[in-house]
Amino acid sequence: MTPTWRDIVQEFPSALPREPVEPHVLERLEQLLGLAVPGELNALLLQSDGLLDTYGTEVVWSAERILSDNLAFRGDDRFRSLYLPFDSLLFFGDNGGGDQFAFACRPPRAGVFVWDHETDERYLVSPSLESFVRSALSSDGEDWYR
């Protein structure tokens, strides 16, 4: 039997789940961003609207933050002049130092990517959201993915 997100989160005493997101919030997010929420992220949000650790770090943002941050990245004129477009990415978390974690949605690609805010590089850091969450929750620092 495949573990649920709640099962995975319970493996880490430092993880603090939230109440599930309402499905209509995810539908609104998809409509406003023009992207489908990847299955793994959709499943997590329907069980826990984001994921915190005991230090208050958002390992996975809430659906509302996913929407607001993605809209901000796409709508910032300065970003448009400095970086490649962000409309193919769906950001869902960050490292606290400026790097953002995302799914590549156009075209859809498996795995979790990081956008390096200093170089504009985008590269694979984890083969799945489950692997990403496990690595982030078991790490001792914000740069665990380097």
Q: pLDDT for 71-85, tens place per residue?
A: 999 999 999 999 999
**Where residue 134 sits, what CATH number does that domain have?**
3.40.1580.10
* CA of residue 82 relative to chain centroid, distance: 22
Tokens 């979790």 correspond to: 112
Beta-bridge mates of residue 24: none
* C-alpha span between 117 and 46 (Å, rounded): 29
Instruction: Look at residue 30 and tell me whether its pLDDT is greater than 90.
Output: yes
Q: Each residue of 90-105: pLDDT tens digit? A: 999 998 889 999 999 9
Residue 145 counted as domain residue: no
Residue 122 counted as domain residue: yes
Residue range 100-112: mean pLDDT, rounded: 94
Q: What is the dihedral of CA 75, 81, 85, 91, to 10 degrees?
A: -60
- Which tokens sit at 8? 């995975």
Number of domains in the chain: 1
Residue 26 counted as domain residue: yes
Measured between alpha carbons, how far is residue 100 from residues 36, 51, 119, 124 in Å? 19, 15, 12, 12
pLDDT at 55: 77
